[in-house]
Structure 1
Amino acid sequence: MSYSILKFDTNSHLLNPKFEGYKLRLVDSSSDDGTSSAVQRYSLESAPVELHKLNVNVHLSFDEMYSRIHYNHLFVGPTDRSFVYVDSTSKVNLVMLDRQSGPHTYSIFEIPQAINPSALEGYPRVHCLDSTTMLVFDGIASVYVLVRNESEIDSEQWIAVGMFDIGLGSVVAGSADGAHRRRLHLILGATVVRHLDHSEICMHYCYRMEHETRSSSDTRSHPHPSFAIQAISVLVPGDSGSRDGHPIPILTSTDVHMLPSHAIPLYCEYLGDQFVIGVRDGIVLDETENPCTPSLPSVTVPDLYYWMQTDGDVTVCIQLPEAVSAHQIACEMTRSSLLLRFTNAPECESRFNFENTAFHSHIMADESVWTLEGGRLLTLYLEKARSGVRWSSVFSTDDGVLETIDPSEFATIREHLAKYTSETSSSGTRMLIQSAADAMDQDNDDLEQEDSSIVFSVRKWGTGEAISSSTAGSPDWLCPSFAKPPPHRRMGGQAEACSSAHAMLPSVCLKFDVDGIVYEIGADAAGAIGETHAGSFAALSYIQASKREQRFMYVDAEMTVAVLAETQRRIYIYHQSNGTSSTEAVQNIVDIGSGELFGMQITGRTLVLLRENSLYLVNLDRCRM
C-alpha cells in the first residue's frame, strides 16, 4: 500500500461567512419538582468523587500536568443512556438513565488497592469495549477485564475474568529523580477482537521516557523528556463464568510495537487492523517513514543553510550565491510555512525553492523577522509558538540539514559568513526587518496560548508503520467529540471488523480561522481510512480562546452542539446555526454553583455533569426552546 497524505481540506459550502454571533437564551431550572426544568440535579448513590493528590516531590512534564488538569472522570457506558465513574472508595459505578425515574446506579467492581502505595498514582480509567466488556485501569499499573453476566437478565452484574499489568517493573517507589524515576502511565485507547474460543484486547498506553543529551560545550547531562506509545495485545479466554471466592486470573500481555512521541496523543482509535493516532508535533519518525507531500516541495541541496535552536527560537543562516538587494527578496513567514522568492537573481532562483514550505512546528509569525547583511547573508529568526519543543529539522520534510548543536560553533560559522559577505559585496551592509504575519495570522496567534498543531497518522496495528499522515499545514487541534456507546458484541477477526463500508471513528473538531470545523474519520468501501469535513461551528475557535478557566470542551457526534465547561460553575452550550446563511445561533449558560466539575458526557440529547456529590442532567432540547 503506497503512502498517502491526510489533507484535512475544508469545504467552503459548510462554512458560514454571514454568521454574526450567538444569542443568549436563559435556561429554565426553576420548577418546583425539577422534572420539567432543563437542568435536574441528583445526589450520587455512592461515595463522593475525589481527585488524587500528588506528592510535592513529583516532577511532571507540561503534557502530563495538562492531561491531569483536563482529565474527564466520567466515562462512556457500555450501552446508550449509560455512563461510568469511579468514586473515592475505588468502586466502579455504572449509571443507567431512565427517561421517567432518572439515574439508577450499580456498583459493579471495586478496584483492589495497589500493592505499592508509594508508587506514582494516576487517575483510574474505564474503557467500555463493547456492550459486554470493559477495562478498568487502577491509575498505576493494573488493568482488569470485566464482562457482563449475560445469564442474569435485567441485572447489571459484571465479573472480573482477568487482569494484567502495563509498564511492568517501571512503577517503583523511591526518589522522583535519577534512575528510579517513577512513571505516570496513561491508557490511550483499546479495542476487542472476538474469536470463537477467546477474545483479544488491543491497547495503547503512554509514558514519559528520559533521554540524556550532551553538548560539546556543556559536560552536564540534560534530560529531554519525550513519550513512548506502547502497543500490547492480551488474550482473554472465552470462559467467563462466575469466579466468586476465587482470585482474578492473571493474563499475559505481549508487546506489539512502540512509537516514540513528542507529546501525549490526543486521539487514538481503532478500525480493523489499523489505528489512527493524533499527536501534537507528530510521532518521531524513523528512516522508514517519509511523509512528504507534493504540495510542499522539499529542499534537497546539502548545506543549503546553517541552523540552530534554543528553547524559544530557531535561527537559520543562508549564504546566497550572488549579491542581492532587499528589494529583490520576497520573504513571507506565516505561522506554519515559509515563502522565499528572488527577483532578477538567477543563481538564487535556481538554488532555493521555498514555496509555502511547511515548518517543523508553528511559529509566532508576528514576532519572527528576517535580515539581509552584505547582500549575501540572509538570516531568518523564527520565534517558536510552543517554547521548549525541540525541532528535529527546520521544515516538516527533513531535508538532511543537521542542526549545529554547539552555539559557539554556530557563532563562528555566522561570523565567517558575515565577514565574507562584507568583504565581497560593494553594496555595503543593509538590514531589513519585516513583521512576517498578515492580519489573519496575527489574529490567530493572539488567540492561541500555545502551539496546538496536531499530526494525524494511520498505522498498521502489527508494526506501527505509517500508511498515511497529515502534515504540519493541517488545521490545529480544537477538541474531540463525545464518543458514542461502543458497538454490540461481534464474532470474527480483525479483517471482518473493518469490512463494513464507511465505518466511522469518533470525529474531531479542528481550528479554521475563527471557526471550528468537524472532520469525520473513517474507512471507505475499500478499507482505506480518510477524513471528511462534515460540519462547522461558527466562531467556536474564537470563543474558546477567550475562556481562561476552560476545563472540558467537546462537540457532539451529530454536530448539533458544542459544550465548553469551566472548572467551576459555568457550562457554555453553543447550538448549531440553522444553515450556512444564518446570522446567529443559540447560546446557553448553565450555572451549577460553586464546586469543582469532574466530568462531562452526553447521551442522546442529555448532557451529564459529574460533581463531587451530585449528577446534573441537562436537557439540550429544552435549552434551545
Structure 2
Amino acid sequence: MTTSNYTLKVNRELLDPNFESYRLSLDPIPTYNVELDAAVEEVTLKDCQYTLEHMRAFGMYNYLHLDPWYQDSVLFVDCKGRVLSLTVTLDTVLGKPREVFRLATEPERRQNRVCPSLSLTSATWAALSDGAGRLYLLRTCKRGDTAHGKWEPLFSEDLGEPFIVLHSVAHVQGGAHTLEVLLLRVVKDPQETTGSGYSVILEWISVANAATQGVEKKYKVTKRRLLRGKSVPHYAAVTPQGDGLMVASERPFAFTHVDGQPLGQPQPAANEQDMEVEKPDPVYFWQQTSDDITASVRLPEGVSKDAVLFRLTADTLSVGVQGSPPLLEGQLYASVDPEASAWLLRDDKSLEVNLQKRTQGPMWPELVTGDRRGEHVMSDEQAALIHERLTHLTSQDVHAGPDPDKPACNSQELEDCDGFPEDTSSLMHFDGESLKTTQVVNLSSHQYLFTVSVDPTQMPCLCLRHDVDALLWQPRPDQPADMWEHVATFNALGYVQASKRDRKFSTCAPNFSYASLCECLRRAFIYRQPSPVNGVLFNRKQGRQVGQVAKQQVASLDTDRVVLGFRATDERLFALTADNLFVLKVNNY
C-alpha cells in the first residue's frame, strides 16, 4: 500500500474575508462554583521527567473530561482515587459530584506514576488508567441518569510502565465486542546518544470479548501494536471501526512491534537487490569540452597495440580486441571529424580516444546513443560554465536589495504569533491491517491549536491555524478521497490564540457557536461567532452600516489556584481547579 500526499481542502463558503475584529462585550457571564470534598489529584513532574515531552504529555494534561455522549456531564479523579461525575441540569442548583468508581492503587505503585486519565469509549463504556500502569475497561450503563450506580470493571490488567489514555472506541468485529484503546508513554531510550534520551511510545491495544449463546466471556487483550516517535502527538485517535489510526505530530511515528515481536525492516525489491549486487564497473570514462571529447576505454591486461581493433567514422565508433566482442560500439550522439581525431594506448590497460566535435559548443548528454556502461566525468571547463549560468541565482552580498542601508530581514518586524515551529509537522493516516501510512498531510504552515469532540460517533476534530483564522477539521476515514473535511471556521482565532502568552487550554462548543481560551490562572476568554446586530450600527472610520458583530467576553474565576481542566459544551464552560469546579453559563437554548 503506497503513501499519498494529501492537501487539506478549505471550504471557501466557511471563510469570511470581510471579518474585522472582535468587539469587547461587558455582558456578565453567570458563574457557579462547586466546592470539592477532596482535592483533584494533580501529579507533578519529578526530577527525572525533565524533557519537553514530559511537560506536553503530563504537565499540561487536561484533568477534566467531558462526556460527549451526554452533554453537560463532566468527570475527574480526586486525590482519594475516586472517579467523580457531575451532570448539570439546573445551573442554580448544582449538586455535589457523585462517585462512580474508585481506583485501588498500591502504595508502592503510587511513587512512580503519572496523572490518571479517562476516555469515554461509548455511551455505556469507558477506559480508565490509574496512572501507574493499570488499564480498566468499565461498563457504565446509562451515564446521563444521575440516579445510576457505580461503574462495573470488566477488564483490568497491568500493562507495564505508566501511561495515559489518549482515545478509545468500541465496535463489533467478527461477532465479538471489541474495544480499541490508544495509550501514550514517555520512556527512556538507551539507544539514543543525542537529544533528551527519551522516546514517545503509542500503544494501540485491542480488547475483545467473544460471547456465545448469550454467555458473556472474559475480556482479554487480542492485539498490541507499538508506535515509536520523538515528540508527543498533537492529535492521536483510532478510527470508529478500529481499522486505522490518525496521528498529527511534529516528528513522524512508525510501527515497531506487534504483540511483542519487532517488525522486520523493509527489504528492497528483488530487482533492486540484483542491481546493487550485480552492478558492474564502468566500461569507459569520458569527459568533454565545447570543442572535443576524451574517452578512456578499459582493456584486458597485456593487450598489445596490434591486437586493438579501432574504427571511427563521422557518426559511429567501434573499439575492441581481436578474438573478443567489441568493448564499445554504436552510434555517436553527434558527428565528429575523423581526420582530427586520434587514439592512444596507455600502459596496456586502457585506450584513450580523442574525438573532435564537428559542431562546437553544445554539450553531449551521452557518448554512444543508448549505452549506459560509461561514466561521465565533468571537466573543469564544464563546471565553470555551469557555475556561470547559475551565478544570477546567488549573491555574496548580504544586502542584495537596492537599499544597502536597510537590513535584508528585520526580525523585530515579526510578531510572536507569526512564528511557527521549526520542525515539520504532519498528519498521518495508518492502515490497521498493513500498519503503513496511506495518506500524509504536511502541517508545517498550519499550527495545531486544539482537539475537540463534536460528534461522539465520529473521530475527534482537530483545529489548525490557517493564516490568522482557526479552521476545524473533521476526519472522515470512510472517505479516502476526502479524508479531512473543513466543518467550521473561527475568525482570527489563530492570531488571537498566539497572542495569549499565559494560555493553557483551548476549546470550542460542539455546535461551533463560540471558541474559548483559558489561562493558567483565573481568566477565560470567549470568542463568539458573528451575530446580527439589533438596531443600526455604523463603522465610524468607513462610514458604512455594520450588519453583524463578533463579541469577545472575559470571565474571571474566583480562585487563586491553577486551572487543571477546561471543557466546553453548547451552553456551558467548565473550569476545574484543585478545590473547585466552576460552571459558566455561556448560552441559553
Q: Shared topology, TM-score over 0.5?
A: yes
- 2:120 aligned to which of 103, 106, 128: 128
Residues 153 and 11 of structure 1: is their aligned pair in 2 closer, same or farther, counting only changes over 3 Å?
closer
Deviation at 1:54, TM superposition (A): 3.5
Query: Partner residue of 2:248?
Result: 278
- 2:557 aligned to which of 592, 598, 605: 592
Question: Aligned runs of 1:52-201 on 2, under 5 Å?
Answer: 52-55=43-46, 57-77=47-67, 78-99=69-90, 101-103=93-95, 105-114=97-106, 116-117=108-109, 119-148=111-140, 154-166=147-159, 168=160, 171=161, 185-194=163-172, 198-201=176-179
Deviation at 1:92, TM superposition (A): 0.4
Deviation at 1:231, TM superposition (A): 1.5
- 2:449 aligned to which of 478, 487, 500: 478
How far, CA to CA, are the matches of 1:531 and 1:440 in structure 2?
35
Q: Give me the CA root mean square deviation.
A: 4.1
Cα deviation code 1:428-479 (max 9, x no counterpart) = x961336999999974765337447531112222442212111255522122
Deviation at 1:15, TM superposition (A): 2.3
Residues 47 and 83 of structure 1: is their aligned pair in 2 closer, same or farther, counting only changes over 3 Å?
same
Question: Aligned runs of 1:190-339 on 2, under 5 Å?
Answer: 190-194=168-172, 198-211=176-189, 224-236=197-209, 252-269=220-237, 270-272=239-241, 273-284=243-254
Alignment-mate amino acid for residue 466 of structure 1:
T
- 2:581 aligned to which of 608, 611, 615: 615
How far, CA to CA, are the matches of 1:112 and 1:105 in structure 2?
19
| CA contact 2:202–2:227 (8 Å) conserved in 1 | yes
- Say whether residues 1:555 and 2:508 are aligned partners: yes
How far, CA to CA, are the matches of 1:263 and 1:140 in structure 2?
21
Residues 441 and 470 of structure 1: is their aligned pair in 2 closer, same or farther, counting only changes over 3 Å?
farther
- Say whether residues 1:460 and 2:452 are aligned partners: no
Query: Partner residue of 1:512?
Result: 466
How far, CA to CA, are the matches of 1:606 and 1:238 in structure 2?
41
Residues 601 and 194 of structure 1: is their aligned pair in 2 closer, same or farther, counting only changes over 3 Å?
same
| CA contact 1:164–1:253 (8 Å) conserved in 2 | no
| CA contact 1:49–1:88 (8 Å) conserved in 2 | yes
Deviation at 1:204, TM superposition (A): 1.9
SS in structure 2 of the partner of residue 65 of structure 1:
helix
Alignment-mate amino acid for residue 64 of structure 1:
H
| CA contact 1:572–1:587 (8 Å) conserved in 2 | yes
Deviation at 1:558, TM superposition (A): 2.1
Residues 3 and 159 of structure 1: is their aligned pair in 2 closer, same or farther, counting only changes over 3 Å?
same
Deviation at 1:564, TM superposition (A): 0.3
Deviation at 1:137, TM superposition (A): 0.5
Alignment-mate amino acid for residue 603 of structure 1:
T
Query: Partner residue of 2:352?
Result: none
Alignment-mate amino acid for residue 146 of structure 1:
L
| CA contact 1:90–1:110 (8 Å) conserved in 2 | yes
How far, CA to CA, are the matches of 1:437 and 1:118 in structure 2?
56
Query: Partner residue of 1:295?
Result: none
| CA contact 1:213–1:222 (8 Å) conserved in 2 | no
SS in structure 2 of the partner of residue 231 of structure 1:
strand
Cα deviation code 1:546-571 (max 9, x no counterpart) = 11111101122322211100011100
Residues 234 and 519 of structure 1: is their aligned pair in 2 closer, same or farther, counting only changes over 3 Å?
same
| CA contact 2:398–2:408 (8 Å) conserved in 1 | no
Deviation at 1:5, TM superposition (A): 3.0
Cα deviation code 1:511-531 (max 9, x no counterpart) = 11111112222245x676611
Q: TM-score under structure 1 normalisation? A: 0.61
Query: Partner residue of 1:11?
Result: 11
SS in structure 1 of the partner of residue 177 of structure 2:
strand
How far, CA to CA, are the matches of 1:582 and 1:138 in structure 2?
52
SS in structure 2 of the partner of residue 42 of structure 1:
strand
Deviation at 1:53, TM superposition (A): 2.8
Query: Partner residue of 1:542?
Result: 495
Query: Partner residue of 2:374?
Result: none
SS in structure 2 of the partner of residue 112 of structure 1:
coil
How far, CA to CA, are the matches of 1:529 and 1:275 in structure 2?
16
How far, CA to CA, are the matches of 1:558 and 1:256 in structure 2?
36
How far, CA to CA, are the matches of 2:102 and 2:236 in structure 1?
27
Which ranges of structure 1 fall in alignment gaps of 5 or more residues? 30-37, 172-183, 215-219, 242-248, 291-320, 323-416, 488-503
Query: Partner residue of 1:531?
Result: 484
Deviation at 1:619, TM superposition (A): 1.6
Alignment-mate amino acid for residue 164 of structure 1:
E
Higher Rg of the two aligned structures: 2
How far, CA to CA, are the matches of 1:154 and 1:571 in structure 2?
32
Query: Partner residue of 1:43?
Result: 35
How far, CA to CA, are the matches of 2:194 and 2:252 in structure 1?
25
How far, CA to CA, are the matches of 1:437 and 1:250 in structure 2?
68
Residues 146 and 271 of structure 1: is their aligned pair in 2 closer, same or farther, counting only changes over 3 Å?
closer
**More displaced stretch, 445-454 vs 551-560:** 445-454
Q: How many residues align?
A: 439
Deviation at 1:282, TM superposition (A): 2.7
SS in structure 2 of the partner of residue 28 of structure 1:
coil
How far, CA to CA, are the matches of 1:158 and 1:544 in structure 2?
38
Residues 211 and 59 of structure 1: is their aligned pair in 2 closer, same or farther, counting only changes over 3 Å?
same
Query: Partner residue of 2:22?
Result: 22
Alignment-mate amino acid for residue 397 of structure 2:
L
Alignment-mate amino acid for residue 460 of structure 2:
P
Residues 204 and 462 of structure 1: is their aligned pair in 2 closer, same or farther, counting only changes over 3 Å?
farther
Deviation at 1:233, TM superposition (A): 1.5
Deviation at 1:255, TM superposition (A): 4.2
Q: TM-score under structure 2 normalisation? A: 0.65
Alignment-mate amino acid for residue 150 of structure 2:
Q
SS in structure 2 of the partner of residue 564 of structure 1:
strand
Alignment-mate amino acid for residue 138 of structure 1:
D
Residues 456 and 430 of structure 1: is their aligned pair in 2 closer, same or farther, counting only changes over 3 Å?
closer
Residues 154 and 18 of structure 1: is their aligned pair in 2 closer, same or farther, counting only changes over 3 Å?
same
| CA contact 1:6–1:531 (8 Å) conserved in 2 | no
SS in structure 1 of the partner of residue 566 of structure 2:
strand
Deviation at 1:87, TM superposition (A): 0.8
How far, CA to CA, are the matches of 1:470 and 1:438 in structure 2?
30
Identity %: 19
| CA contact 1:149–1:157 (8 Å) conserved in 2 | no
Cα deviation code 1:67-122 (max 9, x no counterpart) = 32321111122523312110111100121111363345220111112363364311
How far, CA to CA, are the matches of 2:38 and 2:524 in structure 1?
24
SS in structure 2 of the partner of residue 281 of structure 1:
coil
How far, CA to CA, are the matches of 2:233 and 2:552 in structure 1?
31
